[in-house]
A and B are shown apart, each in its own frame.
Chain A
Amino acid sequence: MKRNTLLAAASTIALISGGAMAQETLKLGALVTLSGAGASWGQGMMRAAELAAEDVNEDGGLEVDGTKYKVEIIAYDDAYKANEAVTAANRLVFEDEVKYIIGTVGSAPILAIQPITEENGVITMTLGFTGQALSPEKPYTFRPNPTTAEVAQPQIDWIVKTQEVKTVGALFPKDETGEAIAKDLSAAYEKAGATLAATEFFERDRVDFIPLLTRIIAQGVDAIELDGNSPATAGQIVQQARDLGFEGVILRTGGPATQEIVNVAGEAATEGMFVHSAFDPGVESAKAYEERFTSTYNEPMNGFSPFFYDGTKMLFQAMRDAGTVEDTEAVKTALENISDYQGILGTMNWTGEDRYGIAHQLDSPFYIARVEGGEEVIVARCTSDGCE
């Protein structure tokens, strides 16, 4: 009897003390594309945030100023649409009361939610390629992945020089992202001594590119550029261009998507394609992340995912440095002050002062790879100064 009472007392104490040590929760929004053409990017981002959260939760939570916070990811799908992103942003900011959002995937969605997030001091980490996403008037927006503006020129210089490309054809989605990339690429090819001779714009959900490709190929282009298209769409373009007998160079100067393109178009059609790669499997931490990703989710990792893993981890470090999770202004300043961050992809620093007027763009090494047997083989290593 006495023993039972003791036991009961002990368990009560355990319960109470357990209650007293209960963790605080830190909610992180993931406003990404989980359905439609951009879904593989969105999933890569959401899962990056989940894995980063898993890291800190394993240690009992994120420790900021003596309090441990269990990190919880709240995910919403914007279907790559500005209006759905606004609905989700309103829910995240006003109902779930999150102060940090990983997202959005698309350019139009980030521009649409910025009035809400900037006004309320919510820090966002977007993938959106538009130059307008970052500006001094939008101090709470950061971009952890390089965009066409950062990576296009050195890669295009290299391709034009080594593959003797003179005229290039390209298809772009008809939206903010597509327009921005078309403009950047056209200037980059011009500078490299080639011309973007044939461009076509199409609705994002289009699957039949034969008429457009017929037109492009009829103009006798040396190469077809895939940058700006979602992985699935790019795969269809490759397959259908080869179906039409196109034998020139196919390249993608931005946006990692090789695995998905090979999945859709098949190994034969993608053989010899040149792709942008942010990912050197020779870097051990990067390889380990890829293995962890595929073993956790049983799906190939999208190449954008590591940037958002690093980005989320940098955000956590900024919270620790600032000693607060509530005061996002202090966290933002701490995030800006991080330098030489050792991420899984290499050493990361903020850049973009010249281009955007604010240093909220992460700079990291990148590569040009040739697709052989469905796998990326790195053929040139690049920095923003050039490739070799």
Chain B
Amino acid sequence: MSFLIAQSLINGVILGTLYLLMAIGFTLAFGVMRIVNFAHGEFYMIGAFCALIGVTWLGLPFPITLALTIAFAILLGAVVERLVFRPFRADELSGMIASLGLAMILQHGALILFGPDPQAFPSLVSGVFRWGALIVPKSRALALGIGIVILLVFYVFLMHTRHGRALRALVQDQEVAAVFGVRLEIMYPLGLGLGVALAAVAGGLMAPLFGVSPFIGGTPLLKAFIVVILGGLGSIPGAALAAILLGLIESFTSSFISASAADIVTFALVIGVLLVRPAGLLGRAET
């Protein structure tokens, strides 16, 4: 029993960190641009394909592939902001529908390019770390490690650089930020670009674990959605809290009750939080 508890704890933390990568990008895009980006899951898929192309087609080492994926994703996000989202900046509903359309275009584009079959992704590492009966697959430990490093770098950027401060100012109040000289024409593409890059890097990290196909974006999008609603739309600390919480809940209910129960508990929790704290655990109420 204690083995199962400890194992579930480890599984849950790993899962939570991965959800966090997805959710932070999602909540950042919303916080900065007030756009609920339904294409977020497809950027995860694109990141996974970038990693696949880099590692298997071009034969690049994984870290370089990830770095290239991030650079490509920031550019892609900036372009998407300019071409698709800019016209809907003040219009949340239309922006949401545009993002749905974008999601379909990206998914079916990938389907045309790569076909529906899951693609082989070579394992980067194999084997497990063992402490007594406890087991952590090395592949997951690696994803967890890189994920944490990326999150830390992102945290430092957000808290301790000029652009990071500008982004946070934008999340708090767009007009006041603009009055104080935050340059919107740079910060919007940057905000979305970073959001997209976080999704893409999550996809790249997950590719060796969960496989690559054009349809892999749906589940992470849903998880990001749950995390962001639990934590409060636009709130990054809220997302962090909710992601770890979600990972642990899923892991424990799947291990001790059943996979179906995990879904039930998760959504019951979402409904419960929305009833008691409509703005989410750490979100600010709309004024």
* Residues of A participating in the B interface, judged by any CB pair closer than 8 Å: 34-37, 39-40, 43, 174, 200-203, 205-208, 210-212, 214-215, 218, 231-232, 235-236, 239-240, 243-245, 260, 262-264, 266, 268-269, 299
Contact = CB atoms under 8 A, between A and B. Distances in A.
Which of A214, A240, A299 has the largest count of B CB atoms less than 10 A from its CB? A214
A266 B124 CA distance: 11
Interface string B233-259: 000000000000000001100111011
A205 B216 CA distance: 9
Given A210-B140, A264-B118, 20 more contacts: A35-B116, A35-B215, A36-B116, A39-B116, A43-B117, A200-B258, A201-B260, A202-B260, A203-B260, A208-B15, A211-B255, A214-B11, A215-B254, A215-B256, A232-B211, A232-B213, A263-B118, A263-B120, A264-B120, A269-B123
Contacts of A269: 123
A263 B56 CA distance: 12
B8 interface: yes
Contacts of A231: 118
B207 to A, nearest CB: 11
Nearest to A38: B116
Contacts of B215: 35-37, 39, 205
A240 B123 CA distance: 11
Dominant SS among interface residues on chain A? helix
Interface in B1-46: 3-4, 7-8, 11, 15
Interface of B: 3-4, 7-8, 11, 15, 111, 115-123, 126, 128, 130, 135, 137, 139-140, 209-211, 213-216, 218-219, 250-251, 254-256, 258-260, 262-263
Contacts of B213: 232
Contacts of B251: 211
A39 B260 contact: no
A37 B211 CA distance: 12
4 closest Cβ pairs, A-B complex: A211-B254, A39-B116, A243-B137, A263-B120
Nearest to B139: A243
Contacts of A43: 116-117
B123 A268 contact: yes
A46 to B, nearest CB: 11
Contacts of A207: 210-211, 216, 219
A206 B140 contact: no
Contacts of B4: 214-215, 218
Contacts of A212: 254-255, 259
Given A207-B211, A218-B3, A243-B139, A232 B259 contact: no
A43 B111 CA distance: 13
A300 B229 CA distance: 42
